[in-house]
Structure 1
Amino acid sequence: MKDVYTIGEIGKLFRIGADSLRYYERLGILSPRRGENGYRLYGPDDIWRLNIIRDLRELGMSVESIGSYIQNRSLSSTVQLLTDEIWMVREQQKHLSLLRQNLSERLKILLQAENLPAGRITEKHLEERRYWAIPESYCCDDEMNLLMQRLVRRGEDGRLIGNNRIGSFFELSGEKPAPEGGENKLEGRENELEGGEDVLEGGSGREVSPGGRARYTGAFLIRDDGPQTIPEGTYLSLVYRGDYFQSPIWAEKMAAHARKQGLTAVPPFLELLWADIHETAETEEFVTELQVLVRRPADFS
């Protein structure tokens, strides 16, 4: 049996790169001797050290802490080390269990998004929801994405993928300014949405001016520990697929539907993102839900 190994042989045996072996040597954890040709030669003393390094690295211990342990190891320090590592493993198991639940929930959300009926206005009762918000207006998708990222940093894992609890507030404007050419960019597109059909091409995203058809007033993240609340009540809900330019068009239809039913739509509208650029590069696969609180005449008496 060999008792001396070159850097290539020891690296292959322990599946450690040459750079890592040299780093351990600089820290004083390993002390290979030099052969006649100047090459590093690793002996039994280095092998047991590498065994310890491998085991403790698998447990997530830093190289510096491993070096300190090797230089000052004793039975009592080893007992304490293993006790600490058992606690760390238990904490990691808790974290992984929560992560699995989180990922399962996000997968469930995306599968639901694929089957949500589009273009249909429904009425539903929603409980009070707490939320965090960044009350900053924006007028394009890039600005919105930055707000969303700032919001998810408040969460446990900072994930955007499969998160249908994040979205925007917006209000409808009574003005419809005409761009150059004399025609409103959205004018005439309402007919394309009749019957629940989705518009998949030619959209301009959220590139709407403050005086345009919709005014985005902020981003929100629904979380139980949020300091603000979305009130309990009856909401109109509608899901659409495709580009975000449809939001104000559908919102106007929801407001008209409310009036027809003798209801009053109470702004702002909520734009909830079931599937967006974080889940798909295909705009036609975007899934967005609009919600707006509605009141009956008796609610105001």
Structure 2
Amino acid sequence: MKRKYYKTGELSKIYKLGRDSIKYYEKLGLLNPVRDTNSYRMYTIKDICNLNLIRELRSLDFSMQRIKEYLQNRNVKSTKNMLKEEIELIEKKVDELNCHKKSLEKRLASIDGCIEHTTFNRIELLYMNKRKALTGDSNVRFDENVDYLIQKLSEKFEDKFYVLGNSNFGAVFNSDSISNNIFNIYKNTFYLLDDNATNYNFILDEGYYVTYTYKGDYKQYLQIFDMLYKFIEVNQYTILGDPIEIYKIDVYETSIEDEYVTQVQIPVKLLSDLSI
């Protein structure tokens, strides 16, 4: 003989729901238990059916109001409409997951490329195409490291990028502060976008950059900038703007400071008769 009623504890165990959640659904009118002779709540087969539907629809992020509307007016027509809505939501989630997967693959490749193909501890003159970016706070200062600033940037544009394994974060130094050996004042923090991006608010200009890529903590700034500025002076380049740095591998990828990879870039203009 089929059971007609189920106790709160049984529902809680079967559906891995807290009693408060079950009472909340009851308060919304989605569950309608009867009371036994001891005043215990007893849930019917209809309540079981509703819980199954609630669990499925909540997994697809349907609002409780939308679920309530459906359960209170459930027929073949409304069920067909709900199924169509579910399909649309699933397709959206699939698209989002595929996008996330591509992002993960891209970031994994960027880590591999950084480790395998980067020239460390050598000054290089590189030509960079125009780079589009998103930028957050301007004229910012932090007394420990730049990772706090990166976190603020990621929160501001949380729907645009992921933090883990992302080698597209960077910051623009304040040249005046650098001249006074102060390396924790930044004009901007930024996140580099793909070339075809249309939603951006910051650009790193196309041109030549004197670059230096190093491993380890950020406190090497003094020696690195001294070396880069002497190189620029010796080669009679003209500095065109503030130095920037790109965090290829940092605290988000590793807790081992010696594995950090940072690239400093200074935009320069070459002598007109210089050929490369």
TM tier, smaller: 0.7 to 0.9
CA change 1:289–1:9 in 2 (3 A) is same
* 1:56 matched to 2:57: yes
CA distance in 2, matches of 1:11, 1:137: 50
Aligned partner of 1:44: which letter?
I
Give matches, 1:228-267, under 5 Å.
228-267=202-241
Q: Which of the numbers 121, 124, 128 marks the counterpart of 1:122?
A: 124
Identity %: 28
Matched ranges for 1:172-251 at <5 A? 172=175, 211-214=180-183, 216-223=186-193, 224=197, 225-251=199-225
Retained in 2: the 8 A contact 1:139–1:210?
no
Deviations 1:42-65 (A, max 9, x none): 222222222222222232212232
Map Cα deviations across residues 97-138 of structure 1 (whole Å, 9 max, x no partner).
111111222222233333433211122221111233343142
RMSD (CA atoms)? 2.6
The answer to whether the 8 A contact 1:167-1:219 is kept is yes
Change (3 A) 1:13 1:289: same
**1:35-184 pair list within 5 angstroms:** 35-115=36-116, 116-133=118-135, 134-141=137-144, 144-152=146-154, 153-154=156-157, 156-172=159-175
Measured after TM superposition, the shift of residue 240 of structure 1 is: 0.8
Q: Match of 1:211, as an amino acid? A: N
Contact 1:5–1:41 (Cα < 8 Å) also in 2: yes
Unmatched 5+ stretches in structure 1: 174-207
Q: Distance in 2 between matches of 1:77 and 1:210?
A: 69
Cα 1:81–1:299 shift into 2, 3 Å: farther
Asked whether the 8 Å contact 2:212–2:264 carries over to 1, the reply is yes
Distance 2:175 2:239 in 1: 11
* TM-score (normalizing by structure 1): 0.77
Q: How many residues were matched structurally?
A: 265
Q: State the one-letter code of the partner of 1:212.
A: N
Query: Partner residue of 2:249?
Result: 275
Q: CA–CA distance in 2 between the matches of 1:126 and 1:254? A: 17
Q: Secondary structure at the match of 1:31?
A: coil
Alpha-carbon distance in 2 for matches of 1:254, 1:287: 17
For the residue of structure 2 that corresponds to 1:135, the secondary structure is: strand
Deviations 1:225-251 (A, max 9, x none): 323322212222211111212123212
What amino acid does structure 2 have at the position aligned with 1:221? Y
Give the CA deviation at 1:265. Answer: 3.7
